[in-house]
A and B are shown apart, each in its own frame.
Chain A
Amino acid sequence: MIQRRIRVAGIIVIILFAVFVFRLAQLQIIHGEQYTRMAESNRTENRPIPAPRGKIYMQQEGEPVIAVSNRLAYTASVIPANIPRGETELISERLARLLGMEAGEISSRIHAGQRALPVRIMRNLTPLQLLKLEENMDQLPGVLIERIPIRDNIYGSTAAHLLGYVGEISQSELTRLYSQGYRSGDLIGKSGLERHYESFLGGVDGVRQIEVDSHRMEITTISKQDPQPGADIYLNIDLDLQLEAERILKEHIRRLQEKAEEDEELMGGPTGGAFLAMEPDSGKILAMASYPTFDLNLFAGGIDRDELQKLQNNFHRPFLDRTLQIAPAPGSTFKVITGMAVLKDLGLNPGDQSVHCGGEFSLGPQTWKCWLEGGHGRLSFYEALAHSCNVAFYRWGHELHHQGNNTIQEVAREFGFGVLSGIDLPGERAGVVPDRDWKSANLKGPWVPGDSVNLAIGQGDLQSTPLQLVNMINTLANGGYLMQPYLVDRVIGEEGEVLWEGQPQVIRKPDVSSTILNQMRQSLQEVTESGTGTRGFGDFVPEVAGKTGTAQTVPGQPNHGWYAGYVPADEPEISFVVFLEHGNDSGFAVDVGREFLEYYFPQAEEVSEE
C-alpha cells in the first residue's frame, strides 16, 4: 500500500515539475522579450542636463567684462513617477517642513509636472537646507538633489531692468515653445535681454540615461548627451558708465526724497527716474538706468514668493523699467520738435525778436500762463527756446493750428515719437503723438486750437518714453539721422563664431533741412549759454547742448523733471537724457546730467577751475 502510494506521489511530483518547466518557458522564452523591456525600463531613467545659459558681457575700457554668468547650485527636485503611489501629499509635507515651503504649493507643482521629468521644487538650496534634505533622503522617495546651473548676476541690481531675469517656464510659454525643445521645469528669460535674446541664450538641454535602483536612486550613468550651452551676448553698455549713471541717479533721487521730508514744495520728491546715454553716430546704448531697481540675484533660484510680493506691491514699482515702459509728457523738451516745425512752416528768422511774451496767452475764455510770472517780453526764436518761453510756443502752436497743418505731429513722428523705437528689449511703450484722428478715435472729441497750444509745449495728450527722447536729441547730435537704438553688439557661439552682429542702422533721415537742424542746434547751445541750462552747464567744458523740460502731471502731483542733451555741442560724443519722475523741476534733472558729465569728461573740471 505504502509503496503504491509513494509511486503515485512520485508521479504527481513529476507532473508538477513539468508544469513548472512549462511556466518557466512561458515566462522566460515566450514572454522573455517583453519582460526584458520591463526590466530595462525599471532600471533606466532619462534625466535632462540643463544647458548653461549664455553669458552676458558689458564693456569696460573697450574690453568685454562679464556681467551675467552661471553657477552650479543644488536644487531640490521631484520626479513624480518615482513617488510611491498615494504618497505625494506625505512627501510634499516632509519637503515643505525641510525647506520651509508650503506643502500645498509643492504638491500642486508635483501634480502639474510631467511624470517622468524632474519638477524643480527649490533651486539654490542653502547649505543648511541641503544638509537637512540629504539626511532625510531615505524618507523622501521620488525626491532628488540636482546640481544645475543658475544665473549669477555679478553686479546684482546693476542694469537689472535691461538684463532681465529668468524664471521657470509658464504653461502658456510651454505650449508655445514645446516644439523648440522646452520642457516643464526649464528656466526661460522672463524680462529684459534674457527674454529678448532667449533663442540665443537658452541653449539646448542634454540628457543623461542613468541606471537607478528600486528606490530610484542613481547608481551609474549609462549614456550621456552633453548639453549645448547658450550663446554669449556682448553689449554696447559700458559698465563704468552704467554703474556711475545708476549711482548718480540713485543718490540724487534719495537726496531729493530726504529733502522733501522737510520741504513741502517738493511734494514728496521724485518717485523714480531714468537715465539713458547713447552714442550719436551709431545709436548704441552706452548706459541705461532705471530707478528704483531690484536685485536680480533674487531670481537666480526662483524668487521667494514673499520677496516678489513685496517688490510688486512696492509703491515705487521697482520692476517698472522707466527708460521705456513709461510714457509721460515730455514737457518743454518737446519744444525742440515744435521749434523745428515753426522754423519749417512759419518762415521766421530765428534771430529776429519776432514774438512777445506778456506772461500769458489767451484763446477765447481759456488762458495759459508762462512759467515766468510777468512774462519774458520781446524774444527772438533763439531766446524763446533758450528761456523755454511758453507763451512764444503757445502763439506759434496756435499759428500752426490755423494754417491747418499737422507739422508738429509730422516732425515729431519723423523724430521717432509715437512709435516703438525697436530697441532690442521687450515691453517698450510707443507713446502717443496726438492729432485729429487720434483724438476722435480715442477721446471721441474734435481737435481744437487748445490741443495744438498744449502740444506745442509738450503737454496735453503727448506721451513719450525717455528712450524716444534720447533718440530725438541724438538725431540732432549726429546731424539729422534717426538711429535705431540697440544694446547688443554681437552674439558669439560656443566655438567663437559670430551668430549675430548689431549694426548701426538709420531708421530715417527726418525731412528737416540742414539749415533748420543747425538753427535748432544753435538754439540748444543758447539754452546752455544764456537760458535754462546756464545754471547747470554754463561753465562746463566741453560745451553742452540740450533742452530742459518740466512736465505737468495730474493736478496735485509734482511735475516731472527732464533734460535731454549732447556733448560736446559741436562734435557730440554722447547723447543723454535724464528723467526724474515727479522730480518737480528740470533743474534737478540738470544736476544729474552735470554730475554724469563730470564723470564722463574727467578733465572738464580741471579746465573750468583754471
Chain B
Amino acid sequence: MRYNKKVFRQVDLTLPLLAFFLVCIGLIMISSATQPSPDAWQTGHFQRQLVSAIIGFLLMLVVTFFDYRLLRDYYLFFYGGALVLLILNLMRGGEGGVAAQRSMSIGPLAFQPSELTKMGLIILLSYILSQEKDEISATALGKTLLATVLPFLLIIRNDLGTSLVFGFILLVMLYIAGFPGLYLLGASGGAVLGVMGWILVHLQWGIWIPLKEYQLMRIIVFWNPGMDPFGYGYHLIQSKIALGSGNITGKGIFAGTQSRLNFIPEQHTDFIFSVLGEEMGFIGAVVLLILYLLLLLKGFQVSFQAKDRFGSLLAAGITGMFGFHIFVNIGMTMGILPVTGLPLPFVSYGGSALTTNLLAIGILLNIYMRRQKIYF
C-alpha cells in the first residue's frame, strides 16, 4: 500500500455524513418498530444493527486505503467468489424456509451472500463495459447478459426483489456505458409486459411460472389491494394507513399506533418507511427523501468525475443499486409499486445489507478521492 497524502486531501465527507444520518434515522426507527416489548432493547434488534453499522463504517474506512482499481484487477475473484457463496448457500438451504436460504453463517455472523453478489456483479459489469468504447460490442453485451442471468435465475424463486436488482444493475450500467437508450427502454418495457402477460396466462390456464404463490399474490394485489384486504392486500393497506395517518408532523417517535400495535407488517425491515412516515409525518419523510436524493446525486457526481471509465461505471452501478432499492422500497410502502421485499438502504434492519452498503459507500469515496482534477 502506498500512502498518498495528496489523495487523502481529496476526501469529501458528504457521502459518509449522509450515510451516517441515514443509519442514525434507521436505528431510531428500528427501536421504535421493535416495540411493543416495552423495553426496546429487549429484542436486540437495535444492538445488532448498531454493531453492523460500526463494522460497516470500519470497512468503509479500510476500503479507502486501497485503490479501487484493485477491484478491476481481481474482478473475476469478486464475482466468482460471491457466486460460489450464493450457490453454496442455496444448496445448503434446500427446500427450507426462505430466511434460511437467504443468509449463511460465517462464524458468529449470519451473512446474506446475495448482498455480496450485487457488488460482485457491479464489479464484473464495470470491468466488461470499461473494456468497450461507447459502441458496445455484441460479445460484451452477451457477456454482461450471461453475468446477470446467472445470479438472477439462481435467486428468483427465493428472492424476487434481489433478482430484479441484478436486472436493474445491468440496465443502468448498460445505459451509462452508452448502450442505446431506446433499446434499453424497449427491452425493459417488453420485460414488464412479458411478465404481466405471463402472469395473466398463468392465472388463466395455469401455465408454469417461476414465482411462488406469495410472490404472485403480491403482484396481483398491487393492482387491487381490496381484493384480499386481510391476506396479501393487508400489508399494502396497513402501510398506506400508517403513512397517511402520519399527516404533516407525524404521531411522534415511538407513538405510531400502526407500528406499535404491529399493524404494519415487517415494520423494522421492508416497511420501515411506513413507520417513519407515521411517526415523523410528511416532514420527516421528505427529509429522508432529500437525504436519499443527495446521496444519489453525490453518487452520480462521483461517477461523473471518476478518473477512468471503470470508476465511472462502478460508481454508477453502485448508485443505481441504491436508487433501485430506494425507489422500489418506498414505492412499495406508498402503494405505487408492488411488494417485492427489498430493504431500504441504511435504514432497514439487516446487518448484511447495511455493511455491504457502507462498504459500497467506501468504494464511492475511494473513486472520488482519486477523481480527475477539475479546475474552475
Residues on A lying within 8 angstroms of B by beta carbon are 1-3, 5-10, 13-14, 16-17, 19-21, 23-25, 27-29, 31-36, 38-40, 42-43, 84-85, 211-215, 219
Contacts and interface: CB of A to CB of B under 8 A. Distances in A.
B22 to A, nearest CB: 15
Given A13-B323, A43-B261, A213-B262, A28 B176 contact: no
Interface residues of B, number: 50
A23 B289 contact: no
Contacts of A8: 181
Contacts of A20: 289, 327, 330-331, 334
Nearest to A30: B244
B177 interface: yes
B176 A214 contact: no
Contacts of A31: 244
Interface of B is mostly: helix
B371 to A, nearest CB: 12
B254 to A, nearest CB: 14
B309 A2 contact: yes
A10 B312 CA distance: 14
A245 to B, nearest CB: 59
Interface of A is mostly: helix
Interface string B329-358: 011001010000000000000000000000
Contacts, number: 135
5 contacts: A10-B297, A14-B293, A17-B289, A35-B245, A39-B258
A6 B258 contact: no
B334 A27 contact: yes
B300 A10 contact: yes
A3 B302 CA distance: 11
A154 B331 CA distance: 65
7 nearest A-B pairs in the assembled complex, by CB-CB distance: A35-B244, A39-B245, A213-B261, A32-B247, A28-B282, A214-B262, A36-B245
Contact of B243 (A27, A212, A214): A27
Nearest to A14: B293
Given A5-B175, A9-B300, A10-B300, A28 B261 contact: no
B303 A2 contact: yes
Contacts of B282: 24-25, 28-29
Nearest to B303: A6
B268 interface: no
Contacts of B296: 10, 13
Interface in B235-262: 238, 240-248, 257-258, 261-262
Nearest to B228: A85
A37 to B, nearest CB: 8
Interface in B266-321: 277-278, 281-282, 285-286, 289, 292-293, 296-297, 300, 303-304, 309, 312-313, 316, 320
A39 B247 CA distance: 12
B240 A9 contact: no
B134 interface: yes
Nearest to B319: A9
A211 B261 contact: yes
A2 B303 CA distance: 9
B36 interface: yes
A7 B327 CA distance: 18
Given A9-B300, A20-B330, A43-B263, 14 more contacts: A3-B304, A5-B175, A6-B316, A20-B327, A21-B289, A23-B334, A23-B336, A24-B282, A28-B248, A29-B248, A32-B247, A36-B247, A42-B241, A219-B261
A6 B176 contact: yes
Contacts of A9: 172, 175-176, 300, 316, 320
Contacts of B336: 19, 23
B194 interface: no
B304 to A, nearest CB: 5
Nearest to A31: B244
Interface of B: 36, 134, 172, 175-178, 181, 230-231, 238, 240-248, 257-258, 261-263, 277-278, 281-282, 285-286, 289, 292-293, 296-297, 300, 303-304, 309, 312-313, 316, 320, 323, 327, 330-331, 334, 336
Given A25-B282, A28-B248, A38 B175 contact: no
A13 B303 contact: no
A24 B316 contact: no
A584 B79 CA distance: 106
B285 A24 contact: yes
A85 B229 CA distance: 9
A43 B248 CA distance: 20
A1 B323 CA distance: 21
B244 A6 contact: no
Contacts of B176: 2, 5-6, 9
B244 A5 contact: no
A269 B241 CA distance: 74
A35 B334 contact: no
Nearest to A212: B261
Given A5-B178, A13-B297, A24 B261 contact: no
B311 to A, nearest CB: 10
Contact of B257 (A17, A42, A84): A42
A308 B308 CA distance: 91
Contacts of A84: 230
Contacts of A211: 257, 261
A574 B36 CA distance: 69
Residue of A3, A25, A219 contacting most chain B CB atoms (<10 Å): A3
A219 B312 CA distance: 54
A24 B336 CA distance: 11
Contacts of A5: 175-176, 178, 181
Contacts of A24: 243, 277, 282, 285-286, 289, 334
